[in-house]
Amino acid sequence: MMDDEHFRVAATAEQTAGACGAWIIGELELILRSSDFATLAISGGSTPKLMFNAMAALPFDWSRLQIFWVDERCVPPDDAQSNYKLAKEHLLDRTHIPPRNVHRIRGEQPPEEAAADYIEEIRSSFGLGAGQLPSFDIIHRGIGDDAHTASLFPGEPLIGDRTGIAAHVYVEKLHMHRVTLLPGVLMTAKKTVILAAGADKADPIVNVFRGPEDPFKFPCQIATRGAHNAFWFLDESAAAKL
């Protein structure tokens, strides 16, 4: 089993989520030594809840962080499935980050409109010209039991997109519309951190590292397989087959 600065394994989900949250805050602090602000894109699901709680408990100047989402379900912001709601309850409300620093995907809008508005918000926040992609300081991602990441599920044609910023996708297996950052943006992250816990992540993680190199089959290989700037935080169950 690999265990180095790029690959940390802790006994429990709580421990690895806490370590991941502390790592993110530490990295952001380093960035703020030479920048006025830092940019972080976070994912949703269930695992990040523990990480958000850990981050909120640490001392940090949240007024200097611009926070974005990797993806969002096309639901209202107070819906139980909303990634924004998860972060609001476990992080944003506990840190009092200025609302102007919070760049959520407006899941309550029609999906295409939500995607277009999010692209515009990213372009404006990063001061991008036509055709330019943002380079987030840190992108936090998870991995699904099918090796999906963000809202890029196996077989999604947009996995081949290297020029777009974000898009609306319909996830057939979940019967759900979503908005997601696209691979080109995942690949321009200065650092990528993946948090995964639970036995159901053991097989997809093995496929990411040791399966055929095929991001259409294993989307979490995007910006991680062979990447020097990808950092993994796993619990023992998720790392069990490495």
Q: Which is nearer to ligand 6PG, 56 or 105 (CB)?
A: 105
Is there binding between residue 149 and ligand 6PG (CB under 6 A)? yes
Is there binding between residue 224 and ligand 6PG (CB under 6 A)? no
Minimum gap (Å) between residue 241 Cβ and ligand 6PG: 17
DSSP annotation string for 30-97: HHHTTSS-EEEEE--SSTHHHHHHHHHTS---GGGEEEEESEEESS-TTSTT-HHHHHIIIIIHHHT-
Q: Which is nearer to ligand 6PG, 31 or 140 (CB)?
A: 140
Minimum gap (Å) between residue 119 Cβ and ligand 6PG: 18
Q: Are 186 and 227 in contact (CB under 8 A)?
A: no
The contact pattern for ligand 6PG, residues 156-195, with x = CB under 6 A and - = no contact, is ----------------------------------------
Q: Which is nearer to ligand 6PG, 65 or 193 (CB)?
A: 193
Minimum gap (Å) between residue 77 Cβ and ligand 6PG: 14
Minimum gap (Å) between residue 59 Cβ and ligand 6PG: 26
Q: By C-alpha distance, which of 184, 238, 240, 228 is closest to 4?
A: 228
Is there binding between residue 142 and ligand 6PG (CB under 6 A)? yes
Is there binding between residue 70 and ligand 6PG (CB under 6 A)? yes
Q: Which is nearer to ligand 6PG, 200 or 214 (CB)?
A: 200
Say how many residues touch ligand 6PG, by CB under 6 A. 16
Q: Are 29 and 60 in contact (CB under 8 A)?
A: yes
Minimum gap (Å) between residue 50 Cβ and ligand 6PG: 10
The contact pattern for ligand 6PG, residues 99-138, with x = CB under 6 A and - = no contact, is ----------------------------------------
Is there binding between residue 144 and ligand 6PG (CB under 6 A)? yes
d(CA 179, CA 235): 28
Sole residue written with tokens 């700037």: 229
From residue 162, alpha-carbon distances to 11, 49, 64, 105, 123 in Å are 36, 30, 29, 21, 16
d(CA 61, CA 25): 10
Q: By C-alpha distance, which of 205, 173, 195 is closest to 13?
A: 195
d(CA 134, CA 117): 15
DSSP annotation string for 156-168: -GGGG-SS-SEEE
Is there binding between residue 16 and ligand 6PG (CB under 6 A)? no
* Residues within the interface to ligand 6PG (CB under 6 A): 43-47, 70-71, 83, 141-144, 148-151
